[in-house]
Each structure stands twice: as C-alpha cells, then as structure tokens.
C-alpha cells in the first residue's frame, strides 16, 4: 500500500492520553468545578472527619452512614448547623470523587441532621449592615494618609457596587472603567458566577463627599496605579505592596469601625454589601433593582435585607399610644 505524504501545513493530532493521564485530568476538572474557597473548606472538613474516624477506629472511606451520623452528633456542641451541613457536603463529595456512593438521605444521617436543626435552630449570624449613616461615621475618621485614601475607596466602592470580599480584592485596574457618569465595574468571577461569564455593575457619581467614583479616582492617582491589582497592602512606611486578601478586607472594616466608636465584632467584610442592600431597601428602591446591583439569584436573601431596612419604618409602639 502506498503511503501518502503529509502536507507541511497539515495539523497532526497530539498523541492520545493514556487512561491514567485522563483520570488525573478528569479529577482536576472535577476539582475545579467548585470555587477555591469551597475546595479549601472541603479539604479542611474532610481532614477533620478523617482524623476523627481514625481516633474512633472507624473507616472514613468508604464510611458507613452510621459513622457519619455519629460524627455529626459528636460535634453538636462545638459546631454550628451551617458548619455541620458543610461538613456533610464535604464528606459526600469526597465519597463521590472516590467512586463510593454516599446517600445523605439515609435515615442514620438525615434524622441526625433534622434533630440538630430542631435543637440548635437554623438561623445564621449575620454581619451588621454598614448602612449609609454608619458608613459616613466610619469615613469621617479617614484622614489624608495614603492608607486613608485606600480605605475610603475600598469602603465606598465595596458599598456602591455591593461587592463580596473576593470580588473587591479580585479587581484589577483594567476591570474598572472611569467615565463622566461614574464607574463601570467588571467582575470577572464571583460566587454567583463560577463559570466566569463576567458581570458588570454601574456605580454612578453622586457629587458628594462620599462619592465612590471620586474616592476611587483619588486612590488610583495617589497610588500611581496603571495596571494590576486595585486594592493593595500598604506597609508602615507607606510603601504599596501586593493585592489585599479577603481577610484583610474584614480587618480594615473592623479597624475603621472601632476607630469610629462602633463595636468591631459586629462588622465584617460582608457589612458593605449588606449595608447597600439594607440602605437601598430603606430608601424604597425596588427589589429587582437591588438584586440587579447585588447580583443575588435568590429573592429570599434580598427580602431579608428589605425586612431589616423596613423594621423601624413605622414606630408602632408610638402609634398605639405608648
């Protein structure tokens, strides 16, 4: 049989991957299906479960449903329902990744979780909302140092765009377009957009002392930034460092809250996002517009902020004559 010559510009396919390489690749893709923070939490959760099973002389993988139920019950007092729910998810994911079925609806697991929810309650602790009056109080303590300029921009942009901590520290210079109308903030990836389709949020100019667009522009100019991370660390000598971490955002919020005479333990990096939603609800902004800015997929979550914002809309105690 005559062998035909291969044209020079022909595309020669790469050698097929072996099964072991394909398995490794598939595992990597499956691992990447979850957010980095979720993967980190799951790894920690699984390590804790595995260690507990080892101490008790029980098999962790595959684990019997009764073992999982015992683990949940053993940590009833030490962990919240939310944390135990995540631990259960981590255990189930680890089993599925290893090819073992894990039915969390098995009575030995399901009934324990139901009992825990009933005994402990499912209400979660939420960070105090940094509403507009509180935000202005916090900002009043910012001076003219470079770190003050950065913190003012971080707080106002985080509030105005209703950003999560990860979204705020993930911003690059190229993600924020400054125009006459305000800021056009592109969020490349977020908790609600794991596929990385990207979302755009508009933050209009207000012409006030608390204008997010003006604060952002002042920080960029003062720091001399033209590329890379927007929000960065600053050392005691005023030198600008690397991109801030999500924990650093919480520390900034709490430090500024304390300086303003507020209880710092009530606030976190989520307080700016919660503050926007609550303030918008209090101002009578429509639910759909709040959701468009916060990018919440669940109306139930946003309605909680609306309820908080309207809590003292009317003084019923005074209206009934007290």
Q: What is the CATH number of the domain that holds 206?
A: 1.10.443.10
pLDDT bracket for residue 55 (50, 70, 90): very high
Tell whether 3 is covered by a domain: no
- Give the mean pLDDT of 79-98: 88
pLDDT in tens, 296-316: 877 777 777 776 666 666 666
Same domain, 165 and 302: yes
pLDDT in tens, 60-86: 999 999 999 999 999 988 888 888 888
Same domain, 52 and 176: no
Same domain, 107 and 137: no
Structure-model confidence comparison of residues 242 and 42, the more confident one: 242
pLDDT bracket for residue 26 (50, 70, 90): very low
Angle of helix 299-309 relative to helix 287-294, nearest 10 degrees, comes to 120
Same domain, 57 and 30: yes
Is the preceding omega at residue 4 within 30 degrees of 0, hence cis?
A: no
Q: What residues contact residue 247 under an 8 Å CB cut-off, 6+ apart?
A: none
Provide the strand spans (E) within the chain.
176-179, 182-187, 199-204, 232-234, 240-243
Residue 23 has pLDDT above 60, yes or no: no
Same domain, 201 and 86: no
Residue 36 has pLDDT above 70, yes or no: no
Q: Which of 23-32, 51-60, 125-134, 303-312 has the lowest mean pLDDT?
A: 23-32
Per-residue model confidence (pLDDT) at position 13: 47
- Single out the residue in 119, 152, 180 at which a domain terminates: 119
Handedness of CA 26, 32, 33, 34 (dihedral sign): positive
Query: What is the span of the domain harbouring residue 111?
Result: 19-119
CATH of residue 69's domain is 1.10.150.130
Tell whether 233 is covered by a domain: yes
Tell whether 126 is covered by a domain: no
pLDDT bracket for residue 20 (50, 70, 90): low
- Nearest C-alpha neighbor of 132 from the set 264, 244, 276: 276
- Give the mean pLDDT of 273-293: 88
The DSSP call for residue 235 is -
Q: For the chain, how many structural domains are there in total?
A: 2
Same domain, 247 and 297: yes
pLDDT bracket for residue 1 (50, 70, 90): very low
Same domain, 243 and 139: yes
Task: Give, in order, the Cα–Cα distances in Å from 307 to each of 280, 285, 318.
Answer: 11, 13, 20
Provide the strand spans (E) within 61-215.
176-179, 182-187, 199-204
Tell whether 251 is covered by a domain: yes
Per-residue model confidence (pLDDT) at position 117: 85
Q: What residues contact residue 120 under an 8 Å CB cut-off, 6+ apart?
A: 76, 80, 81
Give the whole-angstrom CA distance, residue 263 versus residue 254: 8
CB atoms within 10 A of CB 60: 19
Of how many residues is the chain composed?
322
Same domain, 148 and 50: no
- Single out the residue in 80, 96, 119 at which a domain terminates: 119
Tell whether 191 is covered by a domain: yes
What is the side-by-side order of every strand in the sheet holding 182-187? Answer: 176-179, 182-187, 199-204
Residue 125 has pLDDT above 60, yes or no: no
- The average confidence (pLDDT) of the chain is 83
Tell whether 322 is covered by a domain: no
- Give the mean pLDDT of 259-276: 91
Tokens 């002392």 map to which residue? 209
Tell whether 240 is covered by a domain: yes
Same domain, 206 and 81: no
pLDDT in tens, 168-194: 999 999 999 999 999 999 998 755 545
Give the DSSP per-residue string, 183-210: EEEEE--BTTBTT---EEEEEE---STT
Token pair for residue 205?
A: 């100019």
Q: Which of 35-49, 125-139, 196-210, 271-285 has the lowest mean pLDDT?
A: 35-49
Per-residue model confidence (pLDDT) at position 19: 52
- Single out the residue in 119, 152, 174 at which a domain terminates: 119
Contact, 161 vs 215, CB < 8 A? no
Same domain, 114 and 136: no
Tell whether 12 is covered by a domain: no
Give the whole-angstrom CA distance, residue 191 versus residue 300: 17
pLDDT in tens, 193-237: 455 567 899 999 999 999 999 999 999 999 999 999 999 999 988
Same domain, 47 and 185: no
Catalytic center residues: 164, 191, 270, 273, 296, 305
Same domain, 106 and 138: no
- Classify burial at 119, counting beta carbons within 10 Å of its beta carbon; exposed 0-12, middle 13-18, buried 19 or more: exposed
């Amino acid at each position: 049989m005559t062998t035909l010559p291969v044209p020079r510009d022909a595309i020669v396919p790469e050698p097929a991957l072996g099964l072991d390489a394909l398995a490794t690749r598939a595992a990597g893709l499956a691992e990447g299906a979850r957010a980095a923070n979720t993967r980190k939490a799951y790894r920690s959760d699984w390590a804790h479960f595995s260690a507990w099973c080892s101490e008790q002389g029980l098999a962790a993988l595959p684990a019997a449903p009764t073992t999982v139920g015992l683990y949940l019950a053993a940590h009833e007092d030490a962990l919240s329902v939310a944390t135990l729910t995540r631990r259960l998810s981590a255990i189930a994911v680890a089993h599925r990744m290893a090819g073992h079925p894990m039915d969390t609806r098995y009575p030995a697991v399901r009934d324990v979780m139901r009992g825990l929810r009933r005994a402990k309650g499912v209400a979660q602790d939420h960070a105090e909302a940094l509403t507009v009056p509180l935000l202005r109080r916090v900002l009043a303590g910012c001076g003219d140092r470079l770190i003050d300029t950065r913190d003012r921009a971080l707080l106002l942009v985080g509030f105005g765009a209703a950003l999560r901590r990860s979204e705020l520290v993930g911003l690059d210079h190229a993600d924020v377009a400054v125009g006459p109308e305000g800021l056009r903030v592109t969020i490349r990836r977020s908790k609600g957009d794991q596929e990385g389709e990207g979302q755009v949020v508009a933050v209009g100019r207000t012409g006030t002392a608390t204008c997010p667009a003006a604060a952002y522009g002042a920080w960029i100019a003062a720091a001399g930034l033209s590329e890379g991370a927007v929000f960065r660390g600053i050392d005691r000598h005023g030198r600008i460092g690397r991109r801030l971490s999500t924990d650093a955002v919480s520390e900034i919020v709490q430090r500024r809250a304390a300086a303003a005479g507020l209880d710092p333990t009530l606030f976190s990096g989520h307080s700016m996002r919660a503050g926007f939603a609550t303030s918008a609800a209090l101002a009578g902004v429509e639910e759909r517009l709040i959701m468009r800015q916060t990018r919440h997929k669940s109306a139930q979550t946003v309605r909680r902020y609306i309820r908080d914002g309207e809590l003292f809309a009317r003084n019923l105690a005074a209206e009934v004559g007290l």
